[in-house]
Amino acid sequence: MKINDVILQTVTKIVVFIILTFGIELFLAGHNSPGGGFIGGLVLSSAFVLLYLVHDIETVRKGIPFDFKKIAAIGAFLAVGTGIGAVLFGEEFLTQAFDYFDLPVFGETELSTVMLFEAGVALTVVGVVVTIISTISEDV
């Protein structure tokens, strides 16, 4: 029996964007407020999980043609890579740097290498959670 869940799908279209925005907000705010790479990544992946629940796997895969295993790998590489990057500048492994820049739209903004590291964490979390859930559900 084909269930017509049009309300769910319509709501999802809006909610997914809210969740994605919230996840990115958590990720960006992490340095000064609660949040950060891990929780941001989890929230982002929950958006993808919601998509899997509402649509079937094939549809989501067509809409988001990423291989989440690769995303996880890129994330892990980024996290380790920031550590090695510090070594290239003659610092200890995983030394983080930060400074303040005057950017055109944002005004004075802090940019730091921690952001890269956190991005690695977030990508790994997203990649791993989505990979696990989609692999298990495919197996079902």
Which residue's CB is nearer to another protein, number 10 or number 135? 135
- Which of the 8 DSSP states describes residue 94? T
Residue from 10, 21, 33, 109 binding another protein (CB under 8 A): 33
Give the end-to-end CA distance of the chain in Å, rounded to a whole number.
19
115 in Cβ contact with 24 (< 8 Å): no
Which residue's CB is nearer to another protein, number 6 or number 136? 136
Sign of the C-alpha dihedral, residues 105, 106, 110, 111?
A: negative
Residue from 48, 67, 72, 109 binding another protein (CB under 8 A): 72
Quickly tell me which residue has 């407020």 as its tokens. 33
Give contact residues for another protein (rule: CB under 8 A): 26, 30-39, 42-43, 46, 69, 72-73, 75-76, 79-80, 83, 93-94, 96, 98, 110, 112, 114, 117-118, 120-121, 124-125, 127-129, 131-133, 135-140
